[in-house]
Amino acid sequence: MFFKRALLVLALFLASCTSYQAADYNQAQEAVEKKHYLIAVNFLDHAIKRAPQTNLGIKAAREAARISLYETKDYKKAIEYYRHLVLYSKEPSERIQAQKDVATIYFDHLQSYQEAIIEFSKLLQMPHMDFDLAKYKLSIARAHYYLNNFFQAESEINEILRLKIDDQMRFNTLLLQGNILVAQKNYLRAAEIFRNVIQAYPETAKKENVALTLAVCYEESQDYPSAIKMLEQLRGQYTPVEYIDLRIKRLKERQKNQPGAKRIHK
């Protein structure tokens, strides 16, 4: 008898929770329609806490994450809701996407690169294809680069280049590798990478102004003839052209002052 009463009480309690949860969710939707986003998130938060693992609780977290990310720009709250989806969503693809969102928010919106590394690393433990693996590793490499952890960044890059990746991914990876070498003042090796990138991917390299970066490598290595030649080739491609002319003029003056400058481009 006692057991039956306990079950009845539990059933009534669950029904009550479900009813209140639905009411919170509906009020949140009404607030969204009026663009009262902070009020909507408050109601959604209540709905989630009433029953986190129910379908409606997961749906509320999904909506709260969207509003927090795109409407209120409350990125820390958005992370909180996406973490909820990682834990409780019944769809593997949604759990993976939510983890991506957490990592991306830390990287793009909060510029919290150490946290981004941790969150992208979690994605490496989930099912993925080589292309996805490369994307996560490239984000990790960039985060290390921004933190001046150049050895770790290069380690990730070397792993990416061993994967089956498309031309755009390979270009992005090599470009980052070159930038890391520039940051380390290893202009000789950076110049070699940028030359290879320009040769292999001329159109993409042109859009990303890789030739201008190569000219900087030549200049920093005191290879003024190569730097001037590269800039002269850019005169018809880069705007404003006055900037290129000014750079060329300055380099020619420096070349006169250092006639014995070494060349790194044969």
Domains of the chain, CATH where assigned: 23-127 (1.25.40.10), 185-266 (no CATH)
Q: What is the pLDDT of residues 83-104, one digit of tens each?
A: 999 999 999 999 999 999 999 9
Gap between the terminal Cα atoms of the chain: 94
- 6 pLDDT higher than 90: no
Given this model, what pLDDT does residue 261 score?
A: 47
Arithmetic mean of pLDDT, 260-264: 52
Per-residue confidence (pLDDT) for residue 7, from 0 to 100: 42
Structure confidence at residue 257 (pLDDT): 83
- More confident: 113 or 126: 113
Helices of type H across 34-129: 37-50, 55-66, 75-88, 92-104, 113-123
- Banded pLDDT at 264 (limits 50, 70, 90): low
| pLDDT (0 to 100) of residue 127 | 82
Q: What is the mean pLDDT of residues 163-187?
A: 97
Choice between 83 and 243, residue whose per-residue pLDDT is larger: 83
191: pLDDT confidence band, cut at 50, 70 and 90?
very high
Could you give the CA distance from residue 117 to residue 147 in angstroms, rounded to a whole number?
11
177-209 burial string, b = 16+ CB within 10 Å, else e? bbbbbbeeebbebbbbbbbebbeebeebbeebe
Q: How confident is the model at residue 8 (pLDDT cuts 50, 70, 90)?
A: very low
Dihedral of alpha carbons 75, 77, 82, 87, sign = positive
Confidence of residue 11 (pLDDT cuts 50, 70, 90): very low
Specify the pTM. 0.87
Closest among 48, 41, 42 to 20, alpha carbons compared? 48
Instruction: Please report which confidence band the pLDDT of residue 17 belongs to, taking 50, 70 and 90 as the band edges.
Output: low
pLDDT confidence of residue 262: 53
Question: What pLDDT, in 10s, does the model give residues 196-238?
Answer: 999 999 999 999 999 999 999 999 999 999 999 999 999 888 8
Q: What percent of the chain has pLDDT over 90?
A: 82
